Amino acid sequence: MNILLLGYGKMGQLIGHIAESRGHSLAGKINIDNRSELDQLDASQIDAAIEFSQPEAAVENIKWCLENGIPILSGTTGWLEKKPELDALTVEKNGAFFYASNYSIGVNIFFKVNEFLAKLMNETTGYTASIEEIHHTAKKDAPSGTAITLAEGIIDNKADFKDWYLTGEMDGSKQSLPITSKRIDPAPGTHIIRYQSEIDDIEISHTAHSRQGFALGAVLVAEWIQGKKGVLSMNDFLSF
C-alpha cells in the first residue's frame, strides 16, 4: 500500500517508520516546508493518506485528499468547528474520511469506560466531576482533542452537564464540566477523570508511555479503510 503522510513531525515520522515496517511504501512526506509539492503527486498512485499536521493546515489537507479520491484519516485536533463542512464534502465526493481525536486502542477503550462511569454516576449525588489532561509543551491546542472527546462522553451520558470549559480561561456554570490542561515535558499524554465528594473520590485515568500506540493505530486504520466509503470513526473500526 502507498501511504501519503500529511504532516511529518515526530508523529508523522513514527507513523512512517511503522508503515514501512509493515511492508507499506510512502508516497510522500508533506509538511509546511514542502506543501507546494502536494499538487505534483499522482493521486492515482496513493492508496490512503494519514494526516497529523497542524490545525491551520488540516482542513485544506483533508479537502485535497477528498477532491482527489484518496481515503483520508486525520488525527489533528483544534479545527473541529469545520468538520461538518468536510463531512458534507465526503458525501458529495463519495469518499472516505476517518477522524479520531486519538488512535490508541487503549484510549478508545478508556472512552467507553468513561461513558459507562458517567451513566453510573447519574444514580448518585454529592460528587463533582472534572477532567485533567497533561501533555508535552509542544502541543499547541488546549484542551486536547482526547479531553474534549472524554468531556463529550460525560455530557452525553450524565444529566448534570450541558457543556465544558477550560479552567483558567473562564468560569463555568454548575452545568459546565471543567477541564484543566497542563503542559509538562516530556509527557506524551495523561487523562484523568475525577468524581470528588466529601466522602471519597473516584478516579479513572489513562497514561500513554509513548506515541507508539497512537502511530500504530493510525496505520491499522489506513489498512482497514481500503474500500470503505463515508464519514468514519473509531466506533466503526473497533465495532463498538
Which of 10, 139, 228, 229 does the annotation list as catalytic? 139
- Residue found by looking up cell 511529518 in the block: 8
Residue 196: exposure state from Cβ atoms within 10 A (0-12, 13-18, ≥19): middle
Place of cell 486519538: 102
Cα gap 49→136, rounded to integer Å: 26
Take residue 19 and report the three cell numbers written for it: 508503515
Which pairs with CB-CB distance under 8 Å and at least 24 residues apart come from 38-47? 38/64, 41/4, 43/68, 43/69, 43/70, 45/2, 46/2, 46/3, 46/4, 46/70, 47/1, 47/2, 47/3, 47/71, 47/222, 47/226
Q: How many residues does the chain have?
A: 240
Report which secondary-structure segment, H or E, holds 210: none
Q: Which residues on neighbouring strands pair with residue 202, listed in sequence order?
A: 195
135 is catalytic: yes
Specify whether 139 is catalytic: yes
The residues annotated as belonging to the active site are 135, 139
